[in-house]
Amino acid sequence: MTNDFIFDLQEVSCAHQGTTVLGPLSLQIRAGSRVAILGANGSGKTTLLRLLDALHYPHSGVASAFGQRIDEASFADDEVNFAFRRRVGLVFQNPDVQLFNPTVFDELAFGPLQLGWPRERILAAVEDSLARLRITHLRQRAPHRLSGGEKKRVALASVLIMEPEVLLLDEPTAALDPESQGEILRFLTEGQGSGRTIVTSTHDLHLVEGIAEHVIVLGAGKLVAQGTPAEILGNEALLRATHLIHSHWHRHADGEVHEHDHLHAHSHVHAAPSITLATSATPYRPLQRSRP
């Protein structure tokens, strides 16, 4: 694997109960890059993120992270597993599966405690993380009593406090109200230039230009295309083929029925850049399986 690449997947497939749910696909993710994984529900986005976080192992092909194979044999070694978990953090789509401590303060302190940080460092890191995610007022609240947006921010803070080199985000704005979406987006955009690799899965086209410099498109578990946000968002044929946009019909007051493109997402976040699709589709180009 080239040193520039943190993740290197070569003809990788993942299966669940004997059915292939991802792949075969090949891709590389560069260190320090901001990547969006686009795809409709069921396209394999979550499976890919779990593979990158070594929660799933490939049943065929070769997956590597930091030059280390991602497979059951390698991660049976506690040293390998521990070193990887310090470098890569995943924020789940549903924060309820991630939050389990009695208070928000305890939630943030849990990871550093497991790493053996000294007390003073833990206290300073917790206070800093609470402030950065604007959740200081929640420090003594029980996580299970928080709103959806608050839970997402606490889950994000509990991962970021570990100072991972790679941050994996699974649908970070899903099911959030516009204000909560804006808070998450604010943090992601403010964090640009930090040197951290950020990989975000989403089906919301409104987010892409604000959070990513490279886009990977999945469809039915396959790697369909990749390119810059402008290239992907301007390819109407690709977006239709992967069910990221669809035709929407509505009737005007005068009775006229009108058809127009409708984004897959059902909410609009003003904090993120707006998107104008090309009036005519750019030619569809299948992914070339070569290193970028």
Question: Please, which pLDDT band fits residue 195 given cuts at 50, 70 and 90?
Answer: confident
> 102 in a domain, yes or no?
yes
> 24 in a domain, yes or no?
no
Which contacts of 159-163 are long-range, i.e. CB under 8 A and separated by 24 or more positions?
A: 159/89, 159/90, 159/91, 159/111, 160/89, 160/129, 160/132, 160/133, 161/108, 161/111, 161/112, 161/125, 161/126, 161/129, 162/86, 162/89, 162/111, 162/112, 162/115
- What is the domain-level CATH number for residue 196? 3.40.50.300
Q: Please give the mean pLDDT across all residues of the chain.
A: 84
Cα separation values, 75 from 2, 113, 178, 238, 253, Å: 22, 22, 39, 37, 62
Whole-structure pTM value: 0.82
> 210 in a domain, yes or no?
yes
> 149 in a domain, yes or no?
yes
Domain count, the chain: 1
> 228 in a domain, yes or no?
yes
Q: Which domain holds residue 214?
A: 34-43+89-263
Question: Please, which pLDDT band fits residue 26 given cuts at 50, 70 and 90?
Answer: very high
> 215 in a domain, yes or no?
yes
* 291: pLDDT strictly greater than 60: no
> 173 in a domain, yes or no?
yes
pLDDT digits (tens, 9 = 90+) for 202-235: 988 988 998 999 999 999 999 999 999 999 999 9
> 156 in a domain, yes or no?
yes
* 199: pLDDT strictly greater than 70: yes
